[in-house]
Chain A
Amino acid sequence: MRPSGNGERAMPKREDIKKILLIGSGPIVIGQACEFDYSGTQACKALREEGYTVVLVNSNPATIMTDPETADRVYVEPLTVEFLERIIERERPDALLPTVGGQTGLNLAVALAEQGILHKYGVELIGAKLGAIKKAEDRGLFKEAMLRCGLDVPRSKVVHSAEEARDFGAEVGYQAVIRPAFTLGGTGAGISFNKNEYEKAVQYGLDASPVTEVLIEESVIGWKEFELEVMRDLKGNVVIICSIENFDPMGVHTGDSITVAPAQTLTDKEYQIMRDAAITIMREIGVDTGGSNVQFAVCPTTGRLTVIEMNPRVSRSSALASKATGFPIAKIAAKLAVGYTLNEIPNDITRETPASFEPTVDYVVTKIPRWAFEKFPGAQDVLTVQMKSVGETMSIGRTFKESLQKAIRGLEIGRAGMGADGKDKPLTAGGDPVAEKDALLRAMRTPNRDRVFQIASALRLGATVEDIFETTKIDPWFVRQMKEITDAEPAMQHAVPTDAAAMRRIKQLGFSDRQLAFAWGKTEDDVRALRKQLGVIPGYRLVDTCAAEFEAYTPYYYSSYDGEDETRLSGKESIIILGGGPNRIGQGIEFDYCCVHAAFALKDDGYETIMVNCNPETVSTDYDTSDSLFFEPVTFEDVMNIIDRVKPKGVIVQFGGQTPLNLAQRLKAAGAPIIGTTPDSIARAEDRELFRDVVERLNLLQPDNATATSFEQASVIADRIGYPVVVRPSFVLGGRAMEIVYDRAALERYMTVAVEASPEHPILIDKFLESAVEIDVDAISDGETVVVAGIMQHIEEAGVHSGDSACILPPYDLPEDIIRRLREQTRALARELEVIGLMNIQYAVRGDDIYLLEVNPRASRTIPFVSKAIGVPLAKLAARVMAGKKLVDLGFTEDPTPSYISAKEVVLPFIKFPGVDILLGPEMRSTGEVMGIDQSMGLAFAKSQIAAGTRLPMKGTIFLSLNKNDQKNMDDVAQGLHELGFKLVATQGTAARLRALGIPVEAVAKLNEGRPNILDRVINGEIDWIINTPLGIDAKEDDRALRRAALERAVPTMTTLAAARAGVAAISAMRTGNPQLLSLQEYHAQNKRS
């Protein structure tokens, strides 16, 4: 309803602009994840709804926003000023909305404005003007602005040199927070407690800042941390969408903090002062319209309120706030940017009421980050002001206790709740409770990812709320809530309840069936049966923005054990799509993309689509994506409860990655109607022994392999098949704990760690195929027709995890015969495994031999990339096939071959983990990906490199240090570099080989060969590209410092010869040709014609 009345002068949308440019946030990196796909997609939809033409640029193919349906013109191109200028020149947009593409989008908008490009092409910044952005982002200007409007800020100084920093430190002390200007997710930020740490942190920050500028702040570590999400319209109306209180006090980046909405421990007086401050800040900074986020620190003993920072754009927190309240911040922000006022936009959820209000909630939302320290040996599990988490889960409960336990089980870290699940491991040996309690208190003093479990364990051992507050500064309110849970445990464990009321009280504290099963020595299935027998089932409540004051029309649910159930079903046949839970390395936005597509396609086919997921960053958890959204952990218990309630026609487990797939067998056993490839077929592909039968039956080739459960067994096997071998636990995603082992000693070391990593599953041992070309194939099957949708040739050879490898579609140098055989084998496997839906196969090709490495009868990480490369929405087709359609009916029966080349490159988070080596290996560590499309392999790869932030040099000096094997195969690379006019420097061995080829080269000392050595040259900025391929553990150690130095100075480093070869092709292509600039829609039209 558009309100109207006397005196209400409508602010119609702007008619003077027709075409709007949006810049996405690029690849998923730590600090900038799929929340910006969510916000960007919402903005695109909102603007198109209003009749604007939307031009979108984003290099990340795994996003919904880069679907050709989302924007009128989608450019999957590198996010650089140069490419953006060309796109602006070609598209001539009237306006640029800079606030929905994260820090990347905002920084690019600033650069385009400052370089006069927007002015030159007459593009107006809408939402936030340059001045406002600068005032909010420049720490000096921001502080001045805060002081001008009478707000308190920590004492601070912006410095540009170590000397300036030293003077300030001498004046105010060395307990400080050091933040570099213009970096993402707090990259390069640090905390210091003494002079040494202070000076080190300052230097690190200065290096990390693109403008060599850091802000040094008086430390407010240990203060309470709050955030407000604020919206403003052109008339100056301001509303607060959500307040967030951090469980972890100041000192831990908010992206690494457990956070809770709404704020729990502020009186109304304090909250209103904070609200007034946020509104004052919005007006002072001058953000015209849209959402911003303001962070505050509050002294726990005096209530002193200081402003920490504000983001003049939608953020990770605003995605969380949108999901936490049901208020779609990005969507509303887009509408405000084109001239509407808040009261002119209806609240989707209540329909009757306008968006000019402040959501009020009647539940508690908890967000917990998920980290990946285990993937970065050498990285410390310590949380600081630099964000390190790779994903997060959110949960909704009627109380904090319910919400917290639910969030923990939604994290999927093997924990069933806040401990009491049989997984609590004592820190001390000997079982002395006092020593253990002391050890726990010592451990929790430094923020770390297990802190919530350490606190719970300490409480069980008699630590007081005060002890924990003194140690951690976590507000006593939170600790007491945790204590209420641990206090209830003895009685809960003592006896199995016999009446519904007692059972319900236990469930209201958030205990999972798994925790109860552990307490009572039963199986989870027993507990579930008992619970259902007592009639204790969850009720689903609505997220309605208004605490039930108005009727809600949007079916966005969470479970609670308060009793009442508000679920409304349409009566149509329904299909449940299980999401992937929190993002982690190996399972991220790509799978969410597939889930979203399944929802879209099945909705179109007339089903009631039901999404189950607990990741607040995603498009899948936008209540607009499916017909109903259940914001719930993707665990057996929570999923079965929903299935019991909605009785779906089908449940889709193959789109959300390993999370739902791991539930498939149990769900099926419990009676869930799994559609698509059967859980039995999935097991045949995933179980080594069963799969060997499949391979034999089809007469295919596998690297020699076997399964071991002990080191002794493993050693015998390795001797038989010959080193090197690839070892890994079964049933894991992303190559978790996968390694290439070259000798017996390494194998022994591995087996102890690996068995630890996956106690319930044996270890797989494969012959490692050295120098083989790795191939990824995505196919779709309906049980009759199999279409090989995409064949990707990896740049890196087998041995580098496929998720960390760059790849090219179609293959760039495979013989036709091999390609034909790959297609044949893929079809045979799809038929043999009775695949209904998607399937991904990894092959290794060596000479004429095709080895089968892995078959996954599910959506793969490459589905979005392939879909964009071939112009066919594979996940949509697969969902419809799973629901019973045939590919013939869907018009997709021929293997597509695009007329252009697509390259995928990955981005790696090494810069966030000081000291960690950047060598690629069989364990996946990349967080995201980019895509480059062009007419040649060289240009497509070049674009992918630029998009991934690797600045391949066009001239300058190249350092080569190759292992013995690679030296034999490097002739073409060396020759190519020489012909392109690069100056070459190399280590002794490599240099000798180059000289033998007649290529001029300067020999340079290795790190252990005296000074000056190559490290000095890199630090001096004399090296423009490093090609370094060490082999074996010792060689790897030698050059580690070199690679690290290169990383910190953004010197491109390639650690495989294959990547270097592709790099040479890219440089050569860039020299001779100009990258092409076409929208995805234009590329796809080419395919339709061809």
Chain B
Amino acid sequence: MKKAILAIADGSVFEGRAVGADGESTGELVFNTSMTGYQEILTDPSYAGQIVTMTYPHIGNYGCNEADTESKHPYVWGFVMRECCFEPSNWRATSTLPEYLQKHNVVAIDGVDTRQITRLLRTKGAQKAVISTVDFDHASLLNKARNSADMAGSDFVKEVAVKEAYEWPAPAEVKYRVVAMDYGIKHNILRLLSAHGCSVRVLPATAGPEEVLAEKPDGVFLSNGPGDPAALPYVYPTVRALIDRKIPIFGICLGHQILGHALGGNTYKLKFGHRGGNQPVLDQNTGRVEITAQNHGFAVDTATLNADEIDFSHVHLNDRTCSGMTHKTLPIFSVQYHPEASPGPHDSRYLFERFTKLMDEYKAAQSA
């Protein structure tokens, strides 16, 4: 058994077993309460800069496969489990989780009390931490954790977003042309856009409005992504310009926060964020509750936005933070959660239809 240590900036140290790659990795320690979907979580670019603790104790039970990925490779900066499974059982599995973690160079630890860690994060807020399989000196590790970069103010988008534009495979019948701004996009968003008849051009986060407009889009999609939305001033002007052009815009997660900034508002850091697949959101216009997948550590500050202009359409029922907004006059809406799920429930897929409906109206108005 190979040893690994998780050291947390608050002074806690957990010794466990190394179950991923050798080495050392710092990051913001967060927890995710999903009981399934670890492979999707590992490969979600929004987790860049973060070490993820899974609250469910058995992780890796069904192994890993080629299909359940949300990007080309894992993005988490570390993975913490109570018990990692070395011999999975599922007809879809093509490798084990430890093999997958090693192959993709993810430092991971198991055999630690993940509930204790979760309670610590809940009480003290998200913490800077380090996992190491090479340095076992507690003081040294605590120093490394404490000296690692702060999440607030960090721009991870520049690390995870594409550098070159590309086309996502188009559906058989193309009804809409969509530009997706890549801040760290998950593949299931692209799969669903495609399933809704969109041909999608994925542009780098740094792309300017002219590059977007050159695609003659029927709609623009603002993707999810990692890090602090307030650290991305270079992306707001593009979004602002598109707002002014009255193009339909749909934002998810970081895209929602960026939209908030582009509309003149602000974002703030949550104590420990929302990460899991059981988060209740109320659509205030229909009274319906959606069980949503979420993964965010920042939220839009509704007080900084103009309520005459913006309808804060969705509210998180656990803490009443802003879960979605709709522009009252422009074809723009966004949600803080993940309607594409993966992992998570499919309750909110109707939002993709809402987007295509806005594009229908936009196209009709254009041709009129």
Contacts and interface: CB of A to CB of B under 8 A. Distances in A.
Contacts of B341: 272
Interface in A790-805: none
A5 B122 contact: no
B115 A562 contact: yes
A812 interface: no
Say which size band chain A's interface belongs to.
35 or more
A856 interface: no
Contacts of B89: 265, 475-477, 480
B320 A268 contact: no
B342 A480 contact: no
A170 B155 CA distance: 68
Nearest to A10: B287
B61 A343 contact: no
Contacts of B113: 562-564
Interface string B233-250: 000000000000000000
Contacts of A239: 289, 291
Interface string A276-287: 100000000000
A400 interface: yes
Contact of B318 (A353, A364, A566): A353
B276 A360 contact: yes
Contact of B91 (A5, A301, A546): A301
Contacts of A364: 57-58
Contacts of A563: 113, 116
Instruction: Specify which of A271, A301, A361, A549 lies most central, judged by the most chain B CB atoms within 10 Å of its CB.
Output: A549
B284 A7 contact: yes
Contacts of A235: 287-289
Contact of A360 (B58, B278, B288, B317): B278
B346 interface: yes
A590 B120 CA distance: 43
B229 interface: no
Contacts, number: 180
Contact of A303 (B56, B61, B91, B277): B91
Interface string A352-372: 111011111111100000000
B183 interface: no
Contact of A480 (B87, B279, B345): B87
B342 A357 contact: no
A36 to B, nearest CB: 28
Instruction: Specify which of A267, A272, A357 lies most central, judged by the most chain B CB atoms within 10 Å of its CB.
Output: A267
Contacts of B62: 265-267
Interface in B240-282: 276-280, 282
B346 A276 contact: yes
Contacts of B58: 264, 364, 399-400
Interface stretch (B35-43, B130-138, B354-362): B35-43
A162 interface: no
Nearest to B112: A562
B90 interface: yes
A358 B320 contact: no
Instruction: Specify which of B62, B67, B116, B285 lies most central, judged by the most chain A CB atoms within 10 Å of its CB.
Output: B62
B291 A547 contact: no
Given A267-B92, A272-B345, A8 B57 contact: no
B278 A268 contact: no
Contact of B119 (A271, A356, A548): A548
B35 A360 contact: yes
A3 B343 CA distance: 27
A697 interface: no
Nearest to B116: A564
Contacts of B36: 263, 266-268, 271
B127 interface: no
A265 B90 contact: yes
Contact of B317 (A263, A343, A358, A562): A343
B190 to A, nearest CB: 16
19 contacts: A6-B312, A8-B284, A11-B287, A235-B287, A267-B36, A268-B343, A342-B289, A362-B56, A398-B115, A475-B89, A477-B85, A477-B87, A547-B55, A547-B115, A548-B118, A549-B276, A562-B82, A562-B116, A564-B116
Interface of B: 31, 33-37, 39-40, 55-58, 61-62, 65, 67-68, 82-83, 85, 87-92, 113-116, 118-119, 122, 276-280, 282, 284-285, 287-289, 291, 312, 315, 317-320, 341-346
Interface of A: 3, 5-9, 11, 235-237, 239-240, 262-272, 275-276, 300-303, 341-343, 352-354, 356-364, 398-400, 465, 475-477, 480, 541, 546-551, 562-564, 566
Given A6-B312, A266-B90, 16 more contacts: A3-B320, A8-B287, A268-B37, A269-B67, A275-B345, A302-B91, A341-B287, A342-B289, A343-B282, A357-B278, A360-B35, A362-B115, A465-B87, A541-B115, A549-B33, A563-B116
